[in-house]
């Protein structure tokens, strides 16, 4: 089974994305909802990581013969696929918003 806590796992992605975002702002009044946004994004990443882990365990159980039922494996794979696609969609929207912000003229 692949190491989900390494650089290839969601934790590696999570750490690289949020290492600068979670730093406290110099003026907390300047960003009143920043903590809520970060918490929302962290919970979303944790959900995707949980779905990926469940998928890996379900596939491993099927391959090793611990389970004979294919339906839960297919469901776990579908859930993980959908949550990962949603994560990529949110990331793409955030990158687009950042690019638009950077091209604004002041």
Can you give the pTM of this predicted structure? 0.63
Phi/psi for 68 (5° steps) reads: -110, -10
Of 29, 23, 41, residue with least CA distance to 86? 41
> What tens digit of pLDDT does each residue of 4-45 get?
444 445 555 555 544 544 555 555 555 667 788 889 999 999
Of 84, 14, 16, residue with least CA distance to 42? 14
> What tens digit of pLDDT does each residue of 57-93 get?
999 999 999 999 999 999 999 999 999 999 999 999 9
């Amino acid at each position: 089974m692949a190491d989900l806590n390494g650089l290839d796992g969601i934790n590696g992605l999570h750490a690289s994305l949020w290492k600068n975002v979670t730093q406290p702002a110099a003026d907390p009044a300047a960003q009143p909802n920043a903590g809520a946004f970060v918490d929302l994004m962290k919970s979303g990443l944790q959900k995707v990581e949980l779905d990926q882990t469940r998928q890996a365990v379900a596939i491993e159980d099927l391959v090793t013969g611990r389970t004979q039922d294919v339906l839960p494996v297919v469901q776990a794979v579908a859930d993980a696929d959908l949550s990962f696609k949603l994560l990529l969609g949110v990331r793409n929207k955030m990158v687009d918003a950042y690019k638009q912000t950077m091209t604004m003229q002041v």
